[in-house]
Amino acid sequence: MFRFIFIAFFLILYLILSIPVFFVEWLIGKFNPHARDISSLRIVQWGFKVILKMTGVEVTVIGEENVPDEPVLFIGNHRSFFDILLTYSRCKNLTGYVAKKEMEKVPLLSTWMRFVYCLFLDRENPKEGLKTILQAIDYVKKGISICIFPEGTRNKGEELTMLPFKEGAFKIATKTGCPIVPISMNNTAEIFENHFPKIKKTHVVLEYGTPIYPNELDKDVKKHIGSYVQNIMDETIHKNAALINN
């Protein structure tokens, strides 16, 4: 419980103290937008790394060298709020996350999210959802990677399970030709969700899969690319389950 209180206090303080930083970042952006983008990325990553340090989480990372130096579509399974911190803190280049629409209402946090090209997806409104995907496609064309959790919501089921992937998320890759990089995560719900409100030291595994280029896939496979990627990730999380207790 102590860790939860400490992290909550840090997050509130971080957001409040970052208010003047918004102005500085805005000013930098007027003269050098790319410098603003990179500094915003690093500022947010610093905050995430501090929070992860507070949790005491031990992270085993596999295959990070698989991430190409070009805009990609990161696809992750989703069981914890900490999935975003674990993955975003490792992004080497600009990466926008697709978040649920409700996050847009969180003051200060949503401002930072916009600074780092996050998008807010309205899952109840297909028309607005399409606009979000089109915006993500535009970001990729401009050199910004996108990360999305295609289960559509946080999976509260058993460990080593996944909800069916929503195929619409993969249009970001099929319409741009950018590579898909699966991020398969094990045991992340054990940090927090499995024993709310306690935050526990735990061991998690992240594996970055081999990039999948949509235009190199067979026509039938490309038509059901969501299932194809999910099967790869399912094999990976089952394989890596053996690493958790080692």
CB 211 within 8 A of CB 181: yes
C-beta neighbour count of 149 within 10 angstroms: 26
Q: What is the pLDDT of residues 163-179, one digit of tens each?
A: 999 999 999 999 999 99
Q: Which two tokens stand for residue 170?
A: 């993969």
Q: Identify the pLDDT of residue 37.
A: 95
Domain at 1-245: CATH code: 3.40.1130.10
Q: Assess whether pLDDT exceeds 70 at residue 246.
A: no
Q: What's the rounded mean pLDDT across residues 26-39?
A: 94
Q: Express as a percent the part of the chain with pLDDT over 90.
A: 85
CA distance to 59, 191, 204, per residue, from 200 (Å): 13, 5, 12
Q: Assess whether pLDDT exceeds 80 at residue 245.
A: no
Q: How confident is the model at residue 89 (pLDDT cuts 50, 70, 90)?
A: very high
Q: How confident is the model at residue 125 (pLDDT cuts 50, 70, 90)?
A: confident
Q: Which residues are CB-contacts of 203 (< 8 A; sequence separation ≥ 6)?
A: 57, 58, 59, 60, 187, 244, 245
Reference 169, options 182, 150, 155; nearest CA is: 150
The residue extents of the domains of the chain are 1-245
Q: Identify the pLDDT of residue 107.
A: 87
Q: How confident is the model at residue 192 (pLDDT cuts 50, 70, 90)?
A: very high
**With helix as H, strand as E and coil as C, how does the chain read?**
CHHHHHHHHHHHHHHHHCHHHHHHHHHHHHHCHHHHHHHHHHHHHHHHHHHHHHHCCEEEEECHHHCCCCCCEEEECCCCCHHHHHHHCCCCCCEEEEEEHHHHHCCCHHHHHHHCCCEEECCCCHHHHHHHHHHHHHHHHCCCEEEECCCCCCCCCCCCCCCCCCHHHHHHHHCCCCCEEEEEEECHHHCCHHHCCCCCCCEEEEEECCCECHHHCCHHHHHCHHHHHHHHHHHHHHHHHHHCCC
Q: Identify the pLDDT of residue 129.
A: 87
Q: Parallel, antiparallel, or unpaired for β 95-100 and 180-186?
A: unpaired
CB 64 within 8 A of CB 208: yes
CB 96 within 8 A of CB 169: no
CA distance to 45, 51, 79, 120, 169, per residue, from 11 (Å): 13, 8, 21, 21, 30
Q: How confident is the model at residue 131 (pLDDT cuts 50, 70, 90)?
A: very high
